[in-house]
Amino acid sequence: VQLQASGGGLVQAGDSLRLSCAASGLTFSRYAVGWFRQAPGKERELVAFIARSASSTYYRDSVKGRFTISRDNAKKAAYLQMNDLGPEDTAVYYCAADHRILSDDRPSFGDYDYWGRGTQVTVSS
């Protein structure tokens, strides 16, 4: 099983980025997906979550209205559209997959089955 996050980069405050998470080796549609980030010296935090059927989503307060999580089960991919980025969004971003029954659409804040390697997002002021 592999999860590969991509799309990070160095941008200026107010810019946008779209992160992608490509999955292989698993039945992607059976997994909920979370996007996490970890800034230097800080704990990893859940940024956004999407249920396996996209029936529900979750966003941490600091990104609501700016970030949008989505998925394409046919392409085995999940995305995180990030708009109006600020220096506080600087971090390594990770995607993670958590096997779920269809009816379980609750966000999970740390216990995921698979984790991908991160992609660096740096926002300059």
**pLDDT tens digits for range 67-122:** 999 999 999 999 999 999 999 999 999 999 999 998 889 999 989 999 999 999 99
pLDDT in tens, 22-52: 999 999 999 999 999 999 999 999 999 999 9
Q: What are the φ and ψ backbone dihedral angles of 51, each rounded to 5 degrees?
A: -70, 165
Question: What DSSP string describes 62-100?
Answer: GGTTTEEEEEEGGGTEEEEEE-S--GGG-EEEEEEEEE-
Q: What share of the chain is helix, strand, coil (3-state, %, to 5)?
A: 10, 50, 40
- Residue holding tokens 């698993």? 26
